[in-house]
Structure 1
Amino acid sequence: MKNNHSMYVFCLAFALLTACSGSKKGEADEVGVETALPDTKNEVAVAILKLEPFNHELVSNGKVTARGAADLKFESGEVIAHIWVKNGDRVRKGQKLAELDKFKLDNLLAQAEYSLKKAELELQDVLIGQGYTSDDFSKVPPETMKLAKVKSGYDQSKAQYEMARYNLEHATLVAPFDGVVANLFAKPFNPANTSEVFCTVIDMQGMETDFTVLESELPLLKTGDKVVVSPYADSAKKLEGSVTEINPLVDDKGMVKVKARVNGNAQLFSGMNVRVSVHRSLGNQLVIPKSAVVLRSGKQVVFTLTNGKQAKWNYIHTALENTDSYSVADGLVEGDTIIVSGNINLAHEAPVIATGL
């Protein structure tokens, strides 16, 4: 019995000792948490909201076409004697590109010239036979002259002569304007194919871009608006131009075709796929960078700085946008200090340390 009483006293003392040490440990842990989790502040960048020019931007995909392009071909099927250029060569207006063997053409022209002179003599004989002298030919009535030319074969001989001279002149292809040679596949010493294009000369300085915009975007577009063209093959290139045509027809997909002239500077090729951005100034607007806008439950939110140390939650509505900015429809006023970065995980009235002012 005495042993049982001693065991009871020992267990009671052990329980009291354990409870006291647990209490002290809990207090120590609580102090440690307060020490490890101080009231930290978020570092954010801020800017003053003000009215500034806003450039609305429409983005579309387009294709480059040459404003000036000439398909050249020979008029007769003689053997090609010379080819002085190749694909990609730059040529000047009037520069020789290729030439046919002219022996037959020279001979045909000589024969046609002889036939024409013979026909002129026959015409004179017909008029003299009708009582006119060589000094009176200018006084021959038009109907009489017409019948005399038919009877002498003068008109037919003249037409043959002009055709022979035309073929000889076009036996040499020349560049119609400054440009670049393309689609040249013929070889020397082979007959020219009169039904196919010998080569194409492209004006690389006068390039155009065809693209489409939505029907709803038409009010934001007009001729003369600035465009920036960037080839998909080299997105670092930025070439400027302006809208020249807006086709007044909406297709069955609700799209409108637009054409812009671009200064290619020999950096664009006909048929190239490009990204087109149309810029139009809409005057002064409240403009915020896209980095200032965060989504909360699917709604647009911008944090503003209050009292220089707290973030305030503001629901906003944006109107238009471009590559890096929004114009604000409502929710903010001029002079607000907006948080433009460091806002991803902010909460309402969260303490912040502001930089950028």
Structure 2
Amino acid sequence: MKYILVLGDGMADEPIEELNGLTPIEAAKTPNVDKLALKSEVGLVNTIPTGMDPGSDTANLSVLGYNPREYYTGRSPLEALSIGVPLKEDDISLRVNLVTLDDTSDYKNKKIIDHSASEITTEEASILLEDLKKAFETEAYKFYCGTSYRHLLVWKEGKLLDFTPPHDILGKEIGEYLSTEGIFSEMMEKSYEILNNHPINIERVKKGLNPANSMWFWGAGTKPILTPFEEKFGVKGAMISAVDLLKGIAIGAEMKVLKVEGATGTLHTNYPGKAKAALDVIKDDCDFVYVHIEAPDECGHQGNLKDKIKAIELIDEKIIGPIVEDLDKSNIDYKLMFLPDHPTPISIRTHTSSPVPYLIYNSTKQVSNTFMYSEKDGERSGNKQEDGYRLMEYFLKN
């Protein structure tokens, strides 16, 4: 038996008036998922433990079968694993977003317009980060380039502090969310002076793109320790994702990490390349593959309803369809699970802790039901996984 998990990050949502009360999942044209749903188990799962923040870090740990209450030590340390940054026991790792602030004169009165600076390219971001390193890097503070707007700071012998994710405060004045640890607020304010009129950003504005005109620190944590996935579940696993967080989780879990050319973490990622990579690794040396697509989440944060629906349709057309067709033709026994990690509702442009719909299809044991794959039918089905981290074992071993 082979196991495929396809995760549309942030795909779940709430009923939208513009869609006559439908959610993006319901409004999207998904013939492949619709066909599977009638032969699958459909249900709801709580991926976020009560009292924990609904981040992609906790949610994806949960979906992968790791209890966040036991394994979560912060988001940035997981990304550090992906970038290859060694962490010591007393190091604190922080995410460094390159964000877009408005042009209000006083820094504390500025608002976050875009948490991703129009999804700035890694090539542009690396140039900006070099100038920030020259200004701020010391023995205590080391900067590392990641992907697109997502970067890293390691604070030697630091302490854990509370920071606010930038996508949680889009459109809000940043003053009350600045760190009480003065050095970080000072670096952020100084970064605006360095970046706002940087040649890279001047060119971006000319092209109609948002400038990456400030750093934003968040996601602090300590060195993570994960039980190897194969040891935990008895199957060899692989990860396909364009996002450092997911690659870092996989590295920590000693899973195989596959690089797909053109995988960007945006709406325009290489969907066929991800599907092919999943099929290749399943037919080669792995029993389980986790195919992560970031696009629905990014569209949710942008408040872009049209593109969020498009992202879901592309997952159906270019990921689900080709994988199912190929495995069926190859006469390979397989189970496929499809779900989001958390909702990212268009109305609020950030994550929530609401349960998300899941679909589990077993090619050797098809069921017959009348439920479609959606938030509403997931609830109507009566199938409910209260502890999200238990869903992986249920999927693999039931």
- TM-score by length of structure 1 reads 0.20
Higher helix share: 2
Higher strand share: 1
